[in-house]
Structure formats: structure tokens, C-alpha cells
Amino acid sequence: MHQTTTTLLEIKDLKKTFAISGGAFSKPLTLTALADINFSIRKGETLGIVGESGCGKSTLGRCILQLLRPDEGQVLWLGQDLTKLPAEEMRKRRQDLQIIFQDPLASLNPRMTVGEIIADPLRSLRPELNKDERRARVLKIMEAVGLLPEMINRYPHEFSGGQAQRIGIARALITEPKLIVCDEPVSALDVSIQAQILNLLAELKDEFGLTLIFISHNLSVVRHVSDRILVLYLGRIVELATGDEIYDDPKHPYTRALLTAVPIPDPKLARQRNIDALRGEIPSPINPPSGCTFRTRCRFAKSFCAETRPPLETLDNGRLVACHRWREIEVPEEAVLGH
């Protein structure tokens, strides 16, 4: 996948917590959704973010867009820290930063027509455009996402899930953004429709020169769209590498466990890969395990894994991994996706 070396976005030491009520007679509890998040994304790149529900993927996407304000850290967009911008300045930046939501129908106003929904960002972010100019842009972007011109006056309930997601994509594209956060954009769709939307996003990325952050719990989906993949567990990065590295040589036990959740047609290979299957439930982010937070579900864990949190190490090729024992763990060929 083609990309340049220009860094569009840089995340430094990002942290986000939420106060949770402990009850009428208890002190409020603190849920740590994100901690020590550091990465960058280059122009033209697609960065996949994967992990189970509750690992902080969507929170990270919203902190990047400043829909949620992080407690600590920096979100540098072309070198400018978005966390320090006042509301009016941040609103101007939203022309460059857009989002595609998970549930296509729930994200569309049922009282607005397709044309009004797609044009809505222009009213706020491009007020100099008149009605005819907005309509011309809407029709052009509808064609780009595969919507017919006669659909412009219809309402969201008249569309299928796949068509509704195309409307959401058109709304995100209408301001000609540089970066789009795709927050599980195909998880609510049928498998056949998922493939159509993924192919559409790949085509639009090339046509409009987009940079994408693609959030998903499904590694098989992320594989087809991402240049690099960031793996989150309980709000922390446990691995960051290229797509090929993740699939051919996963370093972290959690990454390996996520790979076993991707179905393969050969029953024999599927049984062999189940050795790395995830065990138990994800711990509470309110009271996470000491040391390595994945140790309670990891078959490679030793007693020292409970004592200290593993550092996020940078390998020679630039990939990142946070595991005390990754050097000792060999990946059997039959456990790797695609073998």
C-alpha cells in the first residue's frame, strides 16, 4: 500500500480515565480506559486498531478526534497539539478529521433526507458554499460511494444497512478530510456486505488520498485494509507491527490468541491453533491485574509477570511489543493464520 513519510498524527503518552460511581456510600472508582499510548501515523497509511470489546479502541478513536478529551498526553496533528485548542479552533480542524460510526442506521438522523445528512457538515464547516454548491458536492460524493442521484430525497429507514453505511461514508467524505477514523464500520453488516464496504473504503482511500484509522475486533477484517496493526489490551498497547509481521510472526501471546479467533476452513489446523485460544474473561479495567495485565489469561505467564508491567520494547525493525517472555516463545507454523 502506497504511503509517504509525512507524519500526520502523533500520539504521545495519552491517558484517559472515567470516574465510576461506587454507590451511595462508597468512594467513586476510577476506570483507566487508556494509558501510556504512543504511536504515529503517516500520510496515506491505514492503521488498524484491534482488541476485544472493552480494550479502549473506540475511546482511543474519540480521543484522537477530541470527541473525548484525554486526561494527559498530546494528540499532535501536523505538529499542533489538538488537546490545547479551544472549542472554536478545534471545530475548524474537523474539516480534516472525520469519523465513520459502527451502527450505520443509528448514526443517521431519521428526520433528515440523505441529501441533508450528507450536506450537514458543509453547513457548519464550509458556510461560504451556497445551496446549489452544496447540492453539487453531495451528488458528486454520492456517486463516489455508489449511491444513485435519485436517492437524495429519501430517508434513512428506506435503506439497507450497507446502503446506510455508504451514506455515513459520504457524510465523512464531504468535507474532503485528510484522516478518517473508521470505528468498526462493518461489524453490524452481513459478511457479503462487509466485503463490499471494505473494497469501497480501499478505493476511496486511493481516489481521495485518505489516511485511515480502522478500528475492529476482527483481525481478518483488519488484515485486508491495514498497513500496520496496533493491538490494544486493557487500554495499553501490547504490540504494533506491519500486517505481515502480525500474521506471519506474532510476538505477543494476546495477538496470537486473537489470531486463533479467525476461522479457517481446515478442522485439523483449527484444532492445532486452539492451543493459543483466549481463556477466561477480560479483567475489569477498574481493578486490573498487577504487573502484566494479560497474565491471568496467558498460558506462558510466570510468577514474575505479576510483579512488574512489561515495557513496550522497540525491536530492530521498529515494531513494538510489551511482553516479558516474547523472546522465549516460539510460534508453531500451524498456529499462524494462513498456514
Residue 277: the pLDDT is: 72
Place of cell 479467525: 262
Q: How far apart are CA 125 and CA 96, in angstroms?
A: 10
- Whether the CB-CB separation of 213 and 99 falls below 8 Å is answered with no
Widest CA span of the chain, in angstroms?
A: 68
Q: What's this model's pTM, rounded to 2 decimal places? A: 0.90
CB atoms within 10 A of CB 23: 8
- Whether the CB-CB separation of 258 and 219 falls below 8 Å is answered with yes
The secondary structure of 251-267 as a DSSP string is -SHHHHHHHHTS--S-H
Residue 223: the pLDDT is: 84
Q: What does the DSSP 8-state code read for residue 153?
A: G
For β-strands 72-77 and 7-20, DSSP reports them as antiparallel
Query: What phi and psi values does residue 53 have, to the nearest 5 degrees?
Result: -60, 135
**Which are the contacts of 149, defined by CB distance < 8 A and separation ≥ 6?**
139, 142, 143
Domains and CATH numbers, the chain: 7-96+177-251 (3.40.50.300)
Q: How far apart are CA 105 and CA 300, in angstroms?
A: 43
Residue 267: the pLDDT is: 65
Task: Find the angle CA(28)-CA(33)-CA(35) to the nearest 5 degrees.
Answer: 115
Over the chain (339 residues), the average pLDDT of each successive run of 10 is 75 95 77 96 96 94 96 96 93 93 89 95 91 95 96 94 95 96 91 92 95 92 90 97 92 91 64 68 91 93 94 91 88 45
Radius of gyration for the alpha carbons in the chain, expressed in angstroms and rounded = 21
Residue 86: the pLDDT is: 92
Q: How far apart are CA 184 and CA 77, in angstroms?
A: 23
Q: How many residues does the chain have?
A: 339
Residue 270: the pLDDT is: 58
Residue 192: the pLDDT is: 87
Cell numbers standing for residue 79: 505538529
